[in-house]
Amino acid sequence: MKIATYQKHVLNFKQPSRTSRGVLKSKETWFIIVTLNGKQGIGECGMFKGLSIDDRPDFEEKLRWTCAHINFELKDLLHELTEFPSIQFGLEMAFKSLESKNQFELFPSEFTKGAKSILINGLIWMGSEDFMRQQIKDKIESGFKCIKMKIGTINFESELEILKSIRKEFSSNDIELRVDANGAFSSTDALEKLKRLSDLDIHSIEQPIKQGQINEMAKLCESTPLPIALDEELIGVFSKEQKEELLKTIKPQFIILKPTLVGGFQGSDDWIEIAENNEIGWWITSALESNIGLNSIAQYTFTKHSLMPQGLGTGSLFTNNFESPLLVKNGALHYNINNSWNFNL
């Protein structure tokens, strides 16, 4: 008989990180630990306050319920947890961890053998112009070929100037530029801003306007000079039918999958299948999980054989993350088999 417990953990940022939703100094996360015959499986429920659909008062109550019913069939548990995608993901992770020879090697591959790596983007956090410029310089010097810059907090003209300065020195063949507006543009001025960004050979823009404006986003995707990637728009869309309807209505150029926010491996698989059937591109990113969640996302991502840079470079953001084999080097995420895990809560 399986026994399950959960435990909360607070990750502390090395420095406050600003997004269009505010400044992040810490990030709460929860771990489900499932034990069977002396063997342990670990999963992370990285619910993101202010963003996750399961940021609700009964979240921990649902975690307790999940642990109490851990001996139900996994598919039945996942169905019961439809409105709690981060718990779905933690549960999938914990079961896969329990079944694996090595509790941290969920998807054995050339990646977990240390033979191959995953291309990732270098993330540029919002801040003063000088701070953003310094981050960009550091990322390029450390070997990143794809830079993702969060925009929408400082003056748009200043953000354009930063992007222009990169393009003066590096062409789109040298550095791929992505921008993430986190819904910061209004539906009335978004198209004009996209036109100005498109002059700079930007690869794509994530979520230019706030989620939930389906018709406005569809019009934007139809007339945009710059590929649009849906991100927050996917949150809270549960059934396969709803997912298909959303993508067929908006017709984005890309979607971005955060397994913690969209229901884990199964939820991500559904989105990928629908996107590919509709000739929509995709990539996968983390949602500020600890190295436990990031590890499972990275291993899963590798099995999808995407050649695009992924958003998996968040492991070094925290002062109290768990030691792991994950290593960012030359713009790629590696699995250093000489480094061991240290999971102490």
Report the distance separating Cα 255 and Cα 321, nearest Å: 28
User: Counting runs of H as helices and runs of E as strands, what totals does the chain give?
Assistant: 11, 13
The residues, any chain, with a CB within 8 Å of residue 126's CB and separated by 6 or more, are 18, 19, 20, 132, 150, 151, 152, 153, 154
Q: In this structure, which amino acid lies at residue 189?
A: D
Name the residues annotated as catalytic: 150, 258
Report the distance separating Cα 194 and Cα 227, nearest Å: 9
The residues, any chain, with a CB within 8 Å of residue 270's CB and separated by 6 or more, are 240, 243, 263
Q: Distance from CA of residue 269 to its chain's centroid? A: 15
Give the residue ranges of DSSP H helices in the chain.
59-68, 74-80, 85-99, 129-141, 156-169, 190-198, 214-223, 240-250, 259-262, 264-277, 291-302
Number of Cβ within a 10 Å radius of residue 343: 16
